[in-house]
Chain A
Amino acid sequence: GQQVMQIPQYQHVQEGEDFTTYCNSSTTLSNIQWYKQRPGGHPVFLIQLVKSGEVKKQKRLTFQFGEAKKNSSLHITATQTTDVGTYFCAGPSLYAIQGAQKLVFGQGTRLTINP
């Protein structure tokens, strides 16, 4: 079945260090979305990438969508304690049910930061 894999599962860094999480899909995706979930909180939408090779930036966060539209990455430059949380990538399921396009989520990368 369709799978979305994320690595690493955990990452611990010193504040100020960079961080990258990678997302790989078993199938070509029409788009990929990234969400952040703070400890004890709920996922919050960060960004959606649609085009092959697309790169988008949000301040210290850089998102990339691979040329083959099967992989993506999120890079954080100079992490801050506010970046702590779990980052999930998600892609549309191949199977649309009742016209609703559900998302397949990766396992997430849990980022912890030593201040």
Chain B
Amino acid sequence: GAVVSQHPSRVICKSGTSVKIECRSLDFQATTMFWYRQFPKQSLMLMATSNEGSKATYEQGVEKDKFLINHASLTLSTLTVTSAHPEDSSFYICSARETYNSPLHFGNGTRLTVT
């Protein structure tokens, strides 16, 4: 089955530093990847839609300059949390799909803690 790999699974960083999270589709090409944020015991909040070779589309209220998304190839998208602050601490999950109507395959998620 389709596998999405996300790294790192956990990261602790100091306030003011930047953190990069990678999302790779291992056995399929993903023209579109999605980035979500999830707070404890809450639903998935879509942050942005990432298309290969073009700029990401951010959801309302998500700061583009803070959450930099790059989708350089059909199998890799990255999310960089710039100048992280404690309020950015959360669970970040990426997902990818093979075709327009196919289901989403999620990465394992990255738990970010900013101290």
Contact = CB atoms under 8 A, between A and B. Distances in A.
B105 to A, nearest CB: 7
B105 A100 contact: no
Secondary structure type dominating chain A contacts: strand
Contact of A99 (B100, B108, B109): B100
Interface in B2-59: 31-32, 34, 41-44, 46, 49, 51, 54, 57
A7 B105 CA distance: 24
A54 B104 CA distance: 21
B79 interface: no
Contacts of A99: 32, 51, 100
Contacts of B42: 107-108
A51 B4 CA distance: 28
What bracket does the count of chain A residues touching chain B fall in? 20 to 34
Interface in A11-66: 31, 33, 35, 41-45, 48
Contacts of A102: 34, 46, 49
A69 interface: no
Given A42-B109, A98-B57, A88 B101 contact: no
B103 interface: yes
Contacts of B101: 31, 101
Contact of A42 (B41, B93, B100): B93
A77 B109 CA distance: 30
A74 to B, nearest CB: 15
Nearest to B4: A42
Interface string B88-100: 0000010100001
Contacts of B49: 97-98, 100, 102
A103 B100 CA distance: 11
Interface of B: 31-32, 34, 41-44, 46, 49, 51, 54, 57, 93, 95, 100-101, 103-109
